[in-house]
Structure 1
Amino acid sequence: MLQLNIKDETSRLRAVILGTAESNGPTPSVEDCYDPKSIEHVLAGTYPKEADMVLEIDAVAKVFEKYDVQVFRPQVINSCNQIFSRDISFVIEDKIIRANILPNREAEIEAIRYVWNQIDRKNRIILPPECHVEGGDVIPWNDYIFIGTYSGEDYPELITARTNMDAVIAIQELFPHKTVKSFELRKSNTNAKENALHLDCCFQPIGKGKAIIHKNGFLIEREYEWLVNFFGKSNVFEITKDEMYNMYSNIFSISEEVIISEKSFIRLNTWLRQEGFIVEEVPYSEISKQEGLLRCSTMPLIRE
């Protein structure tokens, strides 16, 4: 049996689900894209090729191997995009919570069924159907659970709005001893630079009490300011609109000291090293064309 344990984003990682780009399927049509950035690349003829994405994910797998992390991979489904394992489920404490995701992604859940079957049944949570949530919006942080949401009246029209207030309430009920803090995110179906697809696309806490943040990803300035004050201004690395678009906040912590980051994130990686982090650089720019990066394609199961 797997003894799940996730209380934060930075404790030493021991087990993780890492997505796969194998048999990723053909370039989708614009109608079949889930986000504005993918649409951009489909229209420009620059949508990523499977072979390139396989190499990028393999580079991450090698880093996990180096740090002795147990890695689970989804069973490969023919012609299906299974890169973003964070979308389909997430772990808080000893519970795995199935995301109620876009309906045409159900098969992705089945591909990690063998992992679910290793978890005590009482710790497998499926939220009611009205609760929409994806793992990229959920950031456990010690006594807090930070959740990105969108409660505008146009929620049903926004394919980029993935987590609703019903889910926020349900998660608060599941973890009554924690403070659940929700943040309204800026959404756009058409402009990737004005769209925070998930909370981890504009914010992520990292080790040593620091955080990466993009102000414009938050609809309500007061909520952004709360986060800056929570971590302390000197501990926060502010990223620009272009850096958010390139997914600077979507890196991944193996521990308090070790971070996997995209090799082209020069300003961020330089700062991280100045702050005493070990930065494991990988190529991930092809995968990022689908508006997801390292946190999106990893789903931690056990941290120490």
Structure 2
Amino acid sequence: MNTFHQYNETDPLKKVIIGRYQGYRAEEAYVEIVNEEQKKGLPDVQELGPEFESFKHHLEARGVEVLVPQYVGKFVYDQLTPRDIGITIGNKFVMSNMVNQSRRYEAAGIFPMINNMKGEEPAILLPPGNDILLEGGDILVDKGNIFVGISQRTNEAGFDFLEEVFGDRFNLVPVYCRSLDEGKNVLHLDCTFNPVGRQHALIYPDGFREVPGIIKDEYQWIEINAEEQAELATNVISINQDTVISRDHKKCQRVNDEMKKVGIEVIELPFDAAPATGGSFRCCTLPLVRA
């Protein structure tokens, strides 16, 4: 499993990088508040540790190879959500060009892991120029499509770059999301849209400026309301088409039950510390291999 491979969001997860809780907020002088959730208060390592260890255990119990980023240093205070660092598309890996200065050095923690991976050369792609903004939480690869959320963290130049590189193999779909300044707590696309199962998707319709026709036509919706979205009920991680990991939280329970009704096994785990920083299970994972 040393070749980049991801063509669908729900294909069996074989190799993944998860967030690193060790070293979180090691030096308060470097902490930068980068989203609305963090303004409510940040967790500490003692809260994060048991939740991440349990998450890792359940992934490994399902046969997933789990990697953890190397410690970058005290100036990178948060390595919890590696999803934003990059994205595996087909048999290539695209490095993100991130908006917030405090997050740009997180990539150093995963360099040894992605450097050992193979793919069609060049297997690792770097966006040219600072005007191209991309974050992995805004990019979903599914059913021959690359859905690209365009809002506060990924821009149209990022979409154009992906279309230039992958347009001959995938259908690129721009998805315009409502951002925080529009009164919507939608940091990335995966906070408002996430394919699950064989044909379903968790979806928060109010998070879109307009829902693309292909999302209307290709997916059976499990709709999320504003309260559920605020608790990141959309932000589950699929282990395969039949299994997801989701928060064990009262405001996620209805969504979990709806997934169960359509035949999806839902592994419900306590996970409250990382969501307090703005990311749940999908944000805290960076798949390298789905096969």
In the TM superposition, 1:1-304 aligns within 5 A as 2-25=2-25, 32-39=32-39, 41-42=40-41, 47-79=42-74, 80-101=77-98, 102-120=100-118, 122-129=122-129, 130-150=131-151, 161-176=152-167, 177-188=169-180, 194-220=184-210, 223=211, 226-231=214-219, 235-264=220-249, 265-304=252-291
Question: Residues of 2 paired with 1:296 and 1:29: CA distance?
Answer: 25
Give the residue type in structure 2 aligned to 1:173: E
Which 5+ residue runs of structure 2 have no aligned equivalent? none
Q: Offset at 1:276?
A: 1.2
What TM-score, normalized by structure 1, do the two folds share?
Answer: 0.88
Q: Offset at 1:271?
A: 1.4
Aligned partner of residue 145 in structure 1, secondary structure: strand
Q: Offset at 1:228?
A: 2.6
Q: Offset at 1:94?
A: 0.6
Does the CA-based 8 Å contact 1:250-1:295 persist in structure 2? yes
CA deviation map 1:80-132 (0-9, x unaligned)? 21000001111001101100012332321111111122134610100112210
Does the CA-based 8 Å contact 2:94-2:125 persist in structure 1? yes
Aligned partner of residue 166 in structure 1, secondary structure: helix
Count of paired positions? 282
Question: Residues of 1 paired with 2:205 and 2:157: CA distance?
Answer: 25
CA deviation map 1:222-271 (0-9, x unaligned)? x256523331xxx2111111111100100000000010010112111111
Question: Residues of 2 paired with 1:254 and 1:134: CA distance?
Answer: 22
Does the CA-based 8 Å contact 2:193-2:202 persist in structure 1? yes
Question: Residues of 1 paired with 2:16 and 2:46: CA distance?
Answer: 23
Question: Residues of 2 paired with 1:75 and 1:162: CA distance?
Answer: 25
Q: Offset at 1:65?
A: 1.0
Q: Which moved more, 1:276-285 or 1:114-123?
A: 114-123
Aligned partner of residue 106 in structure 2, secondary structure: helix
CA deviation map 1:183-203 (0-9, x unaligned)? 111112595xx1210000011
Shift in CA distance, 239/28, structure 1 to aligned 2, threshold 3 Å: farther
Does the CA-based 8 Å contact 1:133-1:164 persist in structure 2? yes
Q: Offset at 1:11?
A: 0.6
Identity %: 26
Which 5+ residue runs of structure 1 have no aligned equivalent? 151-160
Does the CA-based 8 Å contact 2:17-2:66 persist in structure 1? yes
Q: Cα RMSD between the aligned structures?
A: 2.0
| Aligned structure 1 segments of 4 or more residues deviating by more than 3 angstroms | 26-31
